[in-house]
Amino acid sequence: MSKPELIKEIKNEITQNGPIPFVRFMAQALYHPKYGYYTGSGDKIGWKGDFYTSSTVHPVFGELLAKQCIQMKDEIGDVPLTIVEAGAGKGTLCQDILTLLSKEYPDVFKHCQYIIIESSPFFKELQQKRLCSTFSDHVSWASSIPQNLKGILFSNELLDAFPVHRLRVEKENIQEIFVDWQENRFVEILQPPSTPKLLSYLNRLGVSYKQSAELEINLKALDWMTEAGKALLKGFVITIDYGYPASQLYSPRRAKGTFLCYQKHQSNENPYTRIGEQDMTAHIDFTSLADQGKKVQLDPIGFTDQMHFLMGLGIAQRMEGPAKNMFESEEAKKEFLAMKHLMDPAGMGQTFKVLVQAKNITARQALDGLQYNALSLLNQA
């Protein structure tokens, strides 16, 4: 069931100003200050929510990411470790990273600062309840990326939740999907693109279809990457999300695009039901992210999938103990299956990708998480 107050807000905007681009509808549905999906209360992340993230599957995800951060710190130089996480959900990833650092790298942990960028009051409250009693000296919150940052900036399943423009392509005719209010319901109509940036985006990539197709363009993700590159003085940007290189994302194989809605781990393609009560998402174009980063001195140094990223960081070794005991211990079996879930090539293991970019890093030691590097896939050809 939709939130009636949110429907009224969007309907009034359309009634007063005319049809709105779908990107605006999605922004209101997800981020309206009072009634949006992400700004409202309620279980969203985890097995009891609408979707789960890698950090909620098993702590090993955060533990291995922490070890990658230690290796990156050595590349950044003799400064305290600073980690900035954009969009931290329930705070589980922060908790797992800092717990590992406190146990295995106490000297680094002593001076470590972990900054969370969080726009949702609901999630910020959850994070503070989880983290402040144990890590109050190390965790702080900010509204934007700190300027002149020397450290590591990462996001895990953040960019896929940014509002997207949806286009319909009929050979050389490109139109944008707008949302109108007709006969007491929301309907989609086609109009010329709302900004020339959309056509420039497609022209840059050389996107063309012989058959009719729908696709999504995430301009806000490019803005976020620009902000990241300008704020980072020296260090790394790690982007973990589901998506593809442009050549795979914008292909006839995906003629319906990748836009989906989620509620209680069930997907659907209808954004006009359960408005404000369901998640909306679309896959990330990692080629354009990498290209945008280059404009702000972010050098793409690695691209891989989650399975190979975790393999490079030693997850196979971590799985050996639970694997040996899984038939004698229900707990060991549960732990093994959770780690296997992170690696599943038919699921999270290959669906999630990892893009690593660096700025003002000269030593360029090979990073463990990039032992299986597929950076060449980001070429537009």
Phi and psi angles of residue 170, each rounded to the nearest 5 degrees, phi first: -125, 90
Q: What is the maximum alpha-carbon separation in the chain?
A: 66
Domains and CATH numbers, the chain: 54-163+219-246+281-378 (3.40.50.12710)
Lookup: tokens for 90: 């329930």
pTM of the model: 0.94
Measured between alpha carbons, how far is residue 131 from residues 117, 139, 201 in Å?
14, 8, 40
Residues with Cβ < 8 Å from 112, sequence gap 6 or more?
A: 80, 81, 82, 83, 98, 101, 138
Strand partners, 182: 185
> Residue 295 gets which letter from DSSP?
T
Lookup: tokens for 10: 């969007």
| Closest-CA residue to 304 (of 359, 366, 349) | 349
Q: What is the pLDDT along the chain (381 residues), one digit of tens a residue?
A: 778 899 999 999 999 999 999 999 999 999 999 999 888 666 545 444 444 567 777 899 999 999 999 999 999 998 999 999 999 989 999 999 999 999 999 999 999 999 999 988 888 999 999 999 999 999 999 999 999 999 999 999 999 999 999 999 987 799 999 999 999 999 999 999 999 999 999 999 988 887 899 999 999 999 999 999 999 999 999 999 999 999 999 998 898 999 999 887 688 889 999 999 999 999 999 999 999 999 999 999 999 999 999 999 999 998 888 888 888 888 889 888 988 989 888 888 899 999 999 999 987 788 999 999 999 999 864
To the nearest 10°, report the CA torsion of 376, 303, 295, 151. -150
> Residue 160 gets which letter from DSSP?
G
